[in-house]
Structure 1
Amino acid sequence: MKVDHESLGRTLVFIGFMGVGKTTVGELVADRLDVPFKDSDEEIVKAFDEMTIPEIFHTYGEQAFRNKEKETILQLIDAEKQVLSLGGGAFMQEAVRQKCLEEAVVIFLDMTFAAWKERFPELISSRPLLQTKSMAEIETLFAERRSLYDAHHIRVLTDEITPEEAAEQIFQSLEKLDR
């Protein structure tokens, strides 16, 4: 069965470490399905009157950000069928993880740490958690989060493929899930 917006039964949720391409690939998938695309981080920024995520962390703290993140994601999962990209730490929250696994199709964009490190220079300015950690601490965080990401419906290793190839692998996996 070909997957399209009529056959999409549930929201697709993209998870993975910061900077792995969840937004890029998610937008490609949403375009092809002709469904809305939402990025949970962008929705949180809107809720904080367009403050950047680093500004939210600095002004209100990580806990305030995580609380708004959980509230936002739970509302988005209950909304119309769509493609949703979660911030890298969102899946750490049990309520978010459970809701996504029960009511959505969770797609884990995986990447090795070696491949991720190549992206680090372009990520650091917009990721508050990266700005205060050593590379060893980031690698530990990467491993901790990766163990949470193991709860998923579809996994795509993105190290050596383009976003378009990742999207195609997702569609092939969705068709298999649909059978």
Structure 2
Amino acid sequence: PVQQEPASPHPFPEEEDFSLLSTRVADLTKELVQELRGCSIYVVGMMGSGKSTVGKMLANTLKYAFFDTDTMVEMAHDKKPVAEIFKEYGQEYFRNCETEVMKQLAPYKNLVIATGGGAVLKPMNWSYMHTGVVVWLNGPTSLLAQRVAKDGLARRPLLAPADSNGQPVSQAELYEAAKAKLDSLLSERTQFYESADLTISLEGYGQDAETGAPTAVVMYRLLLALKKKIDDTKAEREDRKNFTIVDTSDVSTMRVKPSPAAPLDDPPLP
């Protein structure tokens, strides 16, 4: 009989042990709550990356308030779904509404904000997001397509197959259409997503290889990255404080010299 190769060990064992993971999350949270000082967190990424799911768990963990820009736009339109807003008013109108939501939220602290997949395309949105920490949830389009195909077309207005004409499509057709569209969108948006302060992988290992890392694991990775970012920033500040001038021979005199463009004598006052 053919022997199967043993599964490769998980590169991050603590992610498999949820008891240990919970302890690590609790320890990280205690430190981060002090260090963040209320700094808000903006979650960006493609559709299907789990921005709302991860964002809610993160907000609950940090004792922050959670907002989803899509939901807030829907509430401003009598809870009309995003797909209907797209259809009735167009994508540009929706994006402008999204920007207005972010403008309203920007002055506040202690928020986790899940943004729409295309929020990164507008420079104005970045001016609001940079009031906090921007986190990109990054996963392969094969994983994202698998997730959004399960949602169906009703919730994903950008993913309708070009030739469907509103007709029912199979799950396989929907996956292929989603994968192609996501590939196209990601190629346009990657340069913008890369402007985020942190990039968090959605990659799963072992039994999670196909479905991606569980939400709790993604949040743990986010907390770890956030802690590292804060520690690195503090270290950089200390380095700037402790700099020394090794060789003063090349340092020019601090004596103020007259400008070569100035007249030798001050003109008489009128």
Using structure 2 for the length normalisation, give the TM-score. 0.62
Residue 155 of structure 1 corresponds to 199
Q: Indicate the residue corresponding to 1:53 in structure 2.
A: 82
Structure 1 equivalent of residue 160 of structure 2: 131
Instruction: Return the offset for 1:171.
Output: 1.1
Which string of whole-angstrom CA distances, capped at 9 and with x for unpartnered residues, describes residues 116-154 of structure 1? 222232234201111255443431112212221011111
Aligned partner letter, 1:115: L
Which structure 1 segments of 5+ residues have no match? Answer: none
Secondary structure of the structure 2 residue equivalent to 1:68: helix
1:141 corresponds to 2:185: yes
Q: Residue type matched to 1:178 in 2?
A: I
Would you say the 8 A contact 2:32–2:227 is kept in 1?
yes
Q: What amino acid is the match of 1:167?
A: M
Instruction: Tell me, in whole angstroms, the C-alpha distance in 2 between the residues paired with 1:73 and 1:166.
Output: 24
Paired residues, what number? Answer: 178
Q: Verify: 1:164 aligned to 2:210, yes or no.
A: no
Q: Distance in 1 between matches of 2:184 and 2:141?
A: 10
Quick check: 1:89 aligned with 2:121? no
User: Cα offset for 1:5?
Assistant: 7.0
Task: Deviation per CA, 1:151-174: give whole Å up to 9, x if none.
Answer: 111111102121101111111122
Structure number with bigger Rg:
2
> Does 7-16 or 25-34 show the bigger shift?
7-16
Q: Paired residue for 2:62? A: 33
- The answer to whether the 8 Å contact 1:109/1:155 transfers is yes
CA contact (8 A) 1:12 1:84 kept: yes
**How far is 1:115 from its partner?**
1.8
CA 1:47 to 1:6, structure 2 compared with 1: closer, same or farther past 3 Å?
farther
Q: Residue type matched to 1:117 in 2?
A: A
CA contact (8 A) 1:107 1:155 kept: yes
Contact 2:35 2:230 in 1 (8 A): no
1:107 and 2:135 matched: yes
User: Residue type matched to 1:36 in 2?
Assistant: A
What is the percentage of aligned positions where both structures have the same residue?
A: 28
Q: After alignment, is 19-28 or 115-124 more displaced?
A: 115-124
What's the offset of the Cα at 1:23? Answer: 0.7
Gaps of 5+ in 2: 1-29, 163-176, 205-212, 232-270
Which residue identity does 1:170 align to in structure 2? L
Taking the aligned partners of 1:25 and 1:5, their CA distance within structure 2 comes to 21
Larger relative helix fraction: 1
- Partner residue, 2:43: 14
CA–CA distance in 2 between the matches of 1:118 and 1:95? 31
Match of 2:32, SS state, is: coil
**Within 1, Cα distance between the matches of 2:185 and 2:93?**
20
Once the two structures are superposed, residues 26-73 of structure 1 have per-residue CA deviations (whole angstroms, 9 ceiling, x without a partner) of 111100101101000000001111111111111111111111111111
**Taking structure 1 as the reference length, what is the TM-score of the superposition?**
0.91
